[in-house]
Structure 1
Amino acid sequence: MIKNSKLNNIYWTSIPKKYLNVPYFELLDGVEGILGQVPSDKEILVVCAKEGSSIMIADMLFEEGLDVAYLKGGMKAWSEHLEPIKVGNLKDGGEIYQFVRIGKGCLSYMVVSNGEAAIIDATRMTDIYTKFAEDINATIIHVFDTHLHADHISGGRAIAEKTNATYWLPPKDAIEVTYEYQPLEGGIDVTIGNTTINIHALYSPGHTIGSTSFVVDEKFLLSGDILFIDSIGRPDLAGKAEDWVTDLRESLYKRYRKLSEELIVLPAHFMIIDELNEDGSVSKKLGTLFEQNHGLNIEDENEFRKLVTENLPPQPNSYQEIRETNMGKISPDEEKQREMEIGPNRCAVR
């Protein structure tokens, strides 16, 4: 019998290095034509969009004597899968978890202390966060978005409504929102159990003018879309790259330089698999990024401006619709939201 391979059984480092991409309709009459291209001494994972086609092809390969499995839920499930990984302990017994959305490159967080929890930059798969909190006996009391997201639909407001938690959003990003929120401004300290979240209003855009960073327990720096492991945030998604470049440089080269280099940077996205650590998490010390991240080592301001305004990838799919959804202006159904998020995140300067 062929096996279904659930997502949490596919470990990051075991993602196959070799793949064969064959249109489904070419295999309707059988798999004989590709047998010479498929290794017989390794397990084969068959993947399609929603699962159905992969079951049929996996069954054909199984009949040919191959060790084969199919990805349960297909690429749809892969895109929406969140893997919670503990990234550290807090001083007074708390913990911080990173939720890795491997199929999209999104990173979100849960800070837990003394039975209370805060969620930062949640995706639209809200049940995963609430179920995880329930499993560890934590009550969600605060939900934050570091900025108004443009590449994926936030689940922050929905989680706050479901759990009666306080929802926080930078006011400079909230001018057009249609719902109530708590203004996320610099100098605020929010307590979760025995843990303090220090809010630093670093008004430098990854996507927005309100982008805000958090220091948690004087140990972790949640950088949102300002700073990534291998790059820095792009400032053009509201059409104001030229206006915001100075703010971006000010935050990265002055405000961040005042922080401890021992802080562990936890960004809101990653770009490539190489940024993942051995345990599947994404993090690096701030001091290491000062040494290794090219975006933090451009002395000439004009060169920096050129990098940030001219070296940009295509804008995310449906980014304006995503922004309007996150503002509360439109309410697309689940299938439409899934369609809007198709494609990789494009939050970084490359």
Structure 2
Amino acid sequence: MSDRDYPEPDGEVDTLSPATLAARIGSGEPVSILDVRDRDEYDAWHVDGPGVTSRQIPYVKFVQAEVKGTVAERAPDLPEPLVVVCGEGKASAYVADLLTTAGVEAANLAGGMDAWADLLVAAEVPTDGPATVRQYRRPSSGCLGYLVERDGEAAVIDPLRAFAERYVADAADLGADVSYAIDTHVHADHVSGVREVAERTDAEVILPAGAADRGLAFDATLVGDGETLTVGGTTLRALGAPGHTHEMTAFAVGETVGCGGVVDTAGTGGDPDTARSGGDTGIAGVDVLLAGDSLFLRSVARPDLEAGLDGAPELAALLHRTLTEQFGELADDVIVAPGHYDTTTTAAESGVYAATLGELRGSLDALSMESDAFVDHVLSAMPPRPNNYEQIIATNLGRERVDDDEAFEMELGPNNCAAGGADAD
């Protein structure tokens, strides 16, 4: 049965918007979810969060209960009100109406899981630096992206293809032109939006230099460790951060004190018209570390999505060096803004998912381990790989083409880019 065949509710049904649900979950407020999709759909992907308790009871059970007059008995033993969820919000609207009529307080998630997947929430990272750093989170998957703006210029980091228009519109609201669309690495969990952002603006697509070694099939400016981009007077310094992948690159947001060298451009052979400053550049004060998939708030990155399990030990050892040596030079007060967050954690009061490097050094045992112990720890319990990760990688390299609908479907579900063996989860 398709959603268009579900009967209309008899009465007015209370609805809850995805944004309201995300705000409640982000704050840790208790939320009771009744998911009326089939079990396989629920097991693959469902609403989760620090205060969420969910139950799966298929829609057909409530149809049968309506005939028998036992709808209230069919309701799960959860604190009310219930938020009823389905794929598109139609079957759940009917069940919410049945429950309300039976005396159970219930509301329907407007648009269902489709609308939940289509939600992007923005909040500003609190920093003393002159640049505005805006974090974008997708509550359905835990993906995080960023917009850095200063003096009418902006850079978008790790944009999602599904939301390309949003970043451009938000930059315009800040009175800024998007100069750069940046990926920290070749993503395996979501379809990148760097090319789509560039198509809508005059932005230059920026990727780590190692993306070429992975078979990059479109033109992009490539950056290496120590090279810099300038956004309205604020510097984004590339910090090679291998571990999740070989090309993984974090970006330190701060003030520039010197520069030298050039950044090569794929297909240009270092054309000076397309080069950027780099080399022996230093940053007087790093305000924010856009960590990509290297260091998260409760864990570290998994190392098996590029080279598989055989290559994971080498990458895990590289990740240890990244965290202890490369990031070891950064001060404790640097704000770490990761590429993903665990959807079972609450946001800070500011609404962002970030922490200082000092806080993470104090809370994550993995950061104080010797290399061999770290490698064993990271490899000990990795979660399932992201859905369709091989096709997503090929798409993000420009080696495969998918339309917007297929891209949206490919990335549904949890991102699973953190190592399950990392300690704070």
Note whether the superposition's TM-score is higher than 0.5: yes
Counterpart code for 2:218:
Y
Q: 1:211 to 1:59 in 2, by over 3 A?
A: same
Matched, 1:3 2:14: yes
Q: 1:260 to 1:278 in 2, by over 3 A?
A: same
Is 1:262–1:286's contact at 8 Å kept on the other side of the alignment? yes
Look up the SS of the partner of 1:18 in the other structure.
Answer: strand
Q: 1:134 to 1:5 in 2, by over 3 A?
A: farther
Picking from 60, 83, 96, the partner of 1:25 is 60
Picking from 256, 260, 263, the partner of 2:331 is 260
Matched, 1:322 2:392: yes
Is 1:46–1:54's contact at 8 Å kept on the other side of the alignment? yes
Q: Which residue of structure 1 lines up, in the alignment, with residue 273 of structure 2?
A: none
Aligned ranges 1:163-312 → 2 under 5 Å:
163-175=201-213, 176-202=215-241, 204-206=242-244, 208-217=245-254, 218-239=286-307, 240-274=311-345, 276-299=347-370, 301-312=371-382
Instruction: Give 1:24 shift.
Output: 1.0
Q: Deviations over 1:113-152 (max 9, x none)?
A: 1222111111122122122223333221111100000111
Q: Which residue of structure 2 lines up, in the alignment, with residue 116 of structure 1?
A: 153
The CA distance in 2 between the partners of 1:280 and 1:47, in whole Å, is: 24
Picking from 92, 117, 136, the partner of 1:54 is 92
Is 1:43–1:67's contact at 8 Å kept on the other side of the alignment? yes
Is 1:108–1:120's contact at 8 Å kept on the other side of the alignment? yes
Q: Which residue of structure 1 lines up, in the alignment, with residue 172 of structure 2?
A: 134
The CA distance in 2 between the partners of 1:51 and 1:174, in whole Å, is: 43
Is 2:253–2:289's contact at 8 Å kept on the other side of the alignment? yes
The CA distance in 2 between the partners of 1:298 and 1:182, in whole Å, is: 36
| Percent identity (aligned) | 32
Matched, 1:331 2:369: no
Counterpart code for 1:269:
H
User: Which shifted more, 239-248 or 12-21?
Assistant: 12-21
Q: Deviations over 1:262-318 (max 9, x none)?
A: 10100000124225324432111101111111221213x322222233432222111
The CA distance in 2 between the partners of 1:268 and 1:210, in whole Å, is: 15
User: Which shifted more, 304-313 or 26-35?
Assistant: 26-35
Q: 1:185 to 1:81 in 2, by over 3 A?
A: same
Instruction: Give 1:38 shift.
Output: 5.5
The CA distance in 2 between the partners of 1:241 and 1:269, in whole Å, is: 20
Look up the SS of the partner of 2:238 in the other structure.
Answer: strand
Instruction: Give 1:53 shift.
Output: 0.9
The CA distance in 1 between the partners of 2:403 and 2:65, in whole Å, is: 37
Counterpart code for 1:122:
P
Q: 1:339 to 1:40 in 2, by over 3 A?
A: closer
Look up the SS of the partner of 1:111 in the other structure.
Answer: strand
User: Which runs of 5 or more residues in structure 2 are unaligned?
Assistant: 1-11, 32-51, 255-285, 421-425
Q: 1:250 to 1:307 in 2, by over 3 A?
A: same
Counterpart code for 2:404:
E
Counterpart code for 2:290:
L
Aligned ranges 1:34-183 → 2 under 5 Å:
34-36=71-73, 37=75, 42-89=80-127, 91-92=129-130, 94-125=131-162, 126-175=164-213, 176-183=215-222
Look up the SS of the partner of 1:20 in the other structure.
Answer: strand
Counterpart code for 2:157:
I
Q: 1:137 to 1:68 in 2, by over 3 A?
A: farther
Is 2:179–2:204's contact at 8 Å kept on the other side of the alignment? yes
Look up the SS of the partner of 1:88 in the other structure.
Answer: coil
Is 1:177–1:329's contact at 8 Å kept on the other side of the alignment? yes
Instruction: Give 1:170 shift.
Output: 0.6
Q: 1:8 to 1:349 in 2, by over 3 A?
A: same
Is 1:108–1:268's contact at 8 Å kept on the other side of the alignment? yes
Look up the SS of the partner of 1:119 in the other structure.
Answer: strand
The CA distance in 1 between the partners of 2:79 and 2:127, in whole Å, is: 42
Is 2:210–2:246's contact at 8 Å kept on the other side of the alignment? yes
The CA distance in 2 between the partners of 1:312 and 1:270, in whole Å, is: 16
Q: 1:346 to 1:263 in 2, by over 3 A?
A: same
Q: How many residues align?
A: 346
Larger radius of gyration: 2
The CA distance in 1 between the partners of 2:195 and 2:183, in whole Å, is: 9
Q: 1:58 to 1:110 in 2, by over 3 A?
A: same
The CA distance in 2 between the partners of 1:147 and 1:41, in whole Å, is: 42
TM-score, structure 2 length as denominator?
0.76
Instruction: Give 1:343 shift.
Output: 2.3
Counterpart code for 1:305:
V
The CA distance in 1 between the partners of 2:30 and 2:168, in whole Å, is: 28
Instruction: Give 1:66 shift.
Output: 4.4
User: Which runs of 5 or more residues in structure 1 are unaligned?
Assistant: none
Instruction: Give 1:41 shift.
Output: 8.3
